[in-house]
Structure 1
Amino acid sequence: MPISIPDKPGELFDNADSFGMVFDAAFKRHASTGAHDNLSLQEKKDLAIQACSDHPFFLSNPKVAAQVADFRLRLFGH
């Protein structure tokens, strides 16, 4: 699910930073609903990745995108 960049709406880049920003937002959005409280961290990560599966970086390099997601989760303290 693409996220708008305020000064560049709809613009996504095929790089890890862009994917990390979109993944962060998807993970936080899922966490804020409370509907996923009983899920494991892996399940939550999978849902967030699924929400950004149309991101150019995920499409071009899904294995590295999953590693970026793991890194971002460590930044969140998970």
Structure 2
Amino acid sequence: MGSRWLAQMPLPIPEKPGQLFDNADSFGMVFDEAWKRHERAGQHQGLSVAEKKERAMAECSEHPFMLSNPAMAAQVADFRIRLLGL
């Protein structure tokens, strides 16, 4: 397997310390948590789904998968929104 599947540089997340990986699963988990964190903080009130997605994506901007494949990361975010009914 290529280096794409190996752990990238660790990025700290207060709720889940440890390494993040350059793959869709890792990005999806981080995106979900960012979305939920915004909801809990009341930051989603009055926003469209597109605006909510944009805010969560911005919070994930340093994730290895977002850096290496931003177009696919956006598709993963759309999938997570549909799958989880976010």
Larger Rg: 2
Q: How many residues align?
A: 75
CA RMSD of aligned residues (A): 1.6
Identity of aligned residues (%): 65
TM-score by length of 1: 0.87
Runs of at least 4 residues of structure 1 off by over 6 A?
Answer: none
Match of 1:12 in 2: 20
Deviations 1:13-71 (A, max 9, x none): 00000000000000000011113210000000000000010000000000000000000
Can you give the 5+ residue segments of structure 1 that lack an aligned partner in the other structure?
Answer: none
Q: 1:2: Cα distance to partner?
A: 4.5
Distance change >3 Å, CA 71–CA 51, structure 1 → 2: same
Indicate yes or no: 2:68 matched with 1:60.
yes
Equivalent-residue separation in structure 2 for 1:77 and 1:10 (angstroms)? 27
Structure 2 residue ranges without an equivalent (≥5): 1-10
**Residue type at the aligned position of 2:47:** L
